[in-house]
Structure 1
Amino acid sequence: MASPFLSFSLLFISVYAADGFREYMVTSCLFSSTKLEDIEFIDSYYYNKMELITFNSTVGKYVGYTEFGVKDAERWNSGPDLDQEKAERERYCLHNVGIFYQAALTKSVKPYVVMSSTTPPAGKRPAMLVCSVFDFYPKQIRVSWRRDGQEVTSDVTSTDELADGDWYYQIHSHLEYAPRSGEKISCVVEHASLKEPLVTDWDPSMPESERNKIAIGASGLILGLILSLAGFIYYRRKARGRILVPTN
């Protein structure tokens, strides 16, 4: 479930001329573990979004992509700059990757699941179940469906992991199906934060929309009874306080 490569980058921007022309450098560390041999160091130089020259620790030298970059690559590969760049993988990446692992990648947040049903337009399957998984971290996750204990491999579509913008993610999986009496349908979530898969069973006894309508109606009925009772008590108290005056 883990991604084969993760990365972090630093962006340095320096303005050397007027009219918005910029030369900048992007330094990246790609890694699949905290071991030095699993880390790749990349240093890229740009001018107005055009990549001029790049050093890659896997390649072991500078590579130029423009006429200007090729000339610089030849010069830098034959000087002390190359040895300095080769040392950056250990000096810069190894230290920061360790910090990044401890600060973020070793943390995880358990997801929660909401299941619902929709009715597709006429001419399609009679029903569709939606398994929505919210607020999980890290990004890697697996969502599957089971019918009577067997994994469903057809009529299933899922979104990509969607970033909420606050380090959390969400994903939505859809199952098209024809309901059968007595069957059991479940949404299964596997994630790094869970010791065992999170299984949520679908309750087909009543559609969610109908349950909401009943809940709203019941709330309204209870509120009406409370108001009626309060009015009756108020009326009785007022009636007791009246003084009857006899008339001829």
Structure 2
Amino acid sequence: MAPGGIPGVARNCWAGALIVAIALRTHRAAADVGGGGFLTCSSLLSEHFLLQEKSECHYTNGMQRVRYLKRLIWGQQEICYYDSDLGFSVARTELGRPIAEYWNRLEWLSYLWASVEKFCSYNHRRFKNITVGRRVKPRVKISTLKAESSHRPSLLVCSATGFYPSEIATKWFKNGQEETAGVVSRELLHNGDWTFQIQVTLETKPRWGDVYTCQVEHISLQTPITMQWVAQPDSGKSKMFIGIGGFVLGLSFMVLGLLVYQKNKKGELQVNEGAPPGLRW
């Protein structure tokens, strides 16, 4: 039994078939190669094992530094790779050694050396041509996260979603004055549709009537988007104030009614005393 649990005959079959497939791919599309860079050796292995070939481009400082990686993964293990920073291929397992040795032949290395320009730089320019001038406006909303304790400040969350490109500026204002303390910007997130989203929170203790404004500036906008949130009275305190107000109002009406009654009663007594004896009641 060969390393990795693969029978020796099958392992040699796979390695030989792979090298042949790679050689064919140098000049033309190999019939043995499946779409998307996936290869198989034979029906003996194809049901249980999968070979993945992945090409990666890593960009630093725009296009100032480009790194090209070509990786072979058998099953779930990387067996060999080519790194343009090294300039040659490296085997990670015994199974990948013959592949790395083949890749390190001059005719194949010359192909890999050119991949930085032919593959990475070309695709970067193509992507750039597609995205140049692309503008998608952000959608903005404000949400609240109320603190469990009344002594702790609440959080106001300004969310900007679905925008492109990624550069965006978000500011918080309280009653017209910009807030800087307590403002936290979370990490910019990539969506799966070439758009971005971000959340900027404000830690504050809102008072009744305070007006909070989230302002978002983006290249897709002619004028900034502004969303407002107005602090409302606490529902528990509001009910208490309403109850107290109702009690005071009811007490006022009761006192007023009592005064009117006493006044009318006094007037009746005065009229009765001034009337002739036969007309008194």
Structure-2-length-normalised TM-score: 0.56
The corresponding residue for 2:184 is 156
Task: Say whether residues 1:90 and 2:124 are aligned partners.
Answer: no
CA change 1:200–1:60 in 2 (3 A) is same
Compute the displacement of 1:118 (Å).
4.7
1:125 match: secondary structure:
coil
Name which of 4, 7, 14 aligns with 2:39: 14
Shift, 1:69, TM fit:
2.7
Among 40, 49, 56, the residue aligned to 1:28? 56
Look up the match of 1:121: 148
Question: Structure 1 vs Structure 2: percent identity of aligned residues?
Answer: 28
**C-alpha separation in 1, matches of 2:60 and 2:218:** 18
Q: Which has the larger radius of gyration?
A: 2
Question: After superposition, what is the alpha-carbon deviation per residue over 1:97-145, rounded to whole angstroms, capped at 9, x for unaligned?
Answer: 2111111364221213222445332345353322121221234545443
Deviations 1:2-49 (Å, cap 9, x if unpaired)? xxxxxxxx94112222332111201122235775x5332221111012
> Structure 1's 155 and 190: CA in aligned 2 closer, same or farther, altered over 3 A?
closer
Aligned to 2:81: 54
TM-score, normalised to structure 1, is 0.63
Q: Which ranges in structure 2 are unaligned for 5 or more consecutive residues?
A: 1-34, 234-281
Aligned counterpart for 2:131 among listed residues 104, 109, 125 = 104
Deviates more, 1:23-32 or 1:122-131: 122-131
Tell me if the contact between 2:161 and 2:197 (Cα under 8 Å) persists in the aligned partners: yes
Q: Which of residues 160, 182, 187 is equivalent to 1:133? A: 160
Q: 1:63 is matched with which residue: 90, 104, 107?
A: 90
Number of residue equivalences: 196
Aligned to 1:214: none
Residue-by-residue CA offset, 1:57-89 (whole Å, 9 max, x unaligned): 222111222233345434432432111110122
SS state of the match for residue 108, structure 1?
Answer: coil
**What is the CA distance between 1:93 and its match in structure 2?**
2.4
Larger RCO of the pair (alpha carbons < 8 Å, separation 6+):
1
Which structure has more strand as a fraction of its residues?
Answer: 1
1:42: which partner in 2? Answer: 69
- Give the gaps of 5 or more residues in structure 1: 1-9, 208-248
- Aligned-pair distance for 1:179? 2.4
Structure 2 letter corresponding to 1:80: E
| Aligned mates of 1:58, 1:195 — CA distance in 2 | 44
